Structure 1
Amino acid sequence: MDTFEFRPTHVVPAEGLPTWAGPDPSEPSTPLDPLLPVQLTDSRGDWARVLCSNGWSAWVDGRLLVSLPQRPPGTEHPLTRTADPRPMLAKLERALAEYRARLDELADGRLDLETFRSRTRDVRLGAVVDGDAAWLLDLEQGRWFYCDGAQLRTYATVDVPPVEP
């Protein structure tokens, strides 16, 4: 007997959900219970094929499924700390200053659009600052870091997750 790993990706809405044997409204089947976890396995337009934990599958109106949040890639690794967030902030400031300089040259007519695109192609930065919290992107390490004002901690990787067999 084949075994499968059930990984819910969605939840049935609170009012339940009608099902169909195929992506065809003329083939009704047993409705799904409210808030039942399901795994999306296929989609065709608005139709979605879902798998239940007991192995039963059916087609539903995929627009009504409630998506479950997924962990960001790379969060299965232990958190790491960097003692001082200022070097990363300095690197982000330099990248932003470089981008701003090229943008000023474009706005002043000293660069054409194609040259602007060429000179900014390798500029990469990412930062979200919200009060005392900051999320900073370091593409050299391929990681987002969370900063609480005193230290950086790895938040998530930007690497593409490996393909599962």
Structure 2
Amino acid sequence: MATPGFLPTHVVPAHGMPSWEAPDPARPTVPLDALLPVQLLERRGDWGRVLCANGWSAWVDGRHLVAVPQDPPTPDAALARTADPRPHLVRAEQHLARYRAALEDLAAGALDGESFRDRTHGLRIGVVVEGEHVWLYDAEHGRWVYADGLRLSTFATDEAPRAAAEDPGHAATQVVTPDGP
């Protein structure tokens, strides 16, 4: 039975996710089911407190939550951009060109396997385009970002969640509403 007024803001990733009683890795609780709708209530560093439809709440790695698409902007509203995906696309193109050039040299016999590995060492790219949606790997920050043409947001990250005290770039507590932080 859903809590009255429950409006999901996110869903759990397709593989499910662990959850904790508090933003503390030492206090695990029941894992959340894949694609479970949740409402993000609060953020502390990388942690997010979510509310499930049945009223149960838990802490999760908020960076892995998948945002539920919001209604499109009304025609008279200005389009707002939180970030621009174009620099990520440029970096992906540059790295792909470097990889392709090294591969061409390897195929032509101008490089041996070790030289090929040296030239391609550190190259990491990832791009998935599906219509107007794009997922880009941001190697500089070790994260996948998602763009729908209007906004860019973190989809997943390589790092484990950190407490707010470990990450001075985040506010200690950030309350999130359906209208934003």
Q: Please, what TM-score do these two structures have when normalized by structure 2?
A: 0.46
Q: Which has the higher contact order (CA 8 A, sep 6+)?
A: 2
Larger radius of gyration, structure 1 or 2? 1
TM-score, normalised relative to structure 1: 0.50
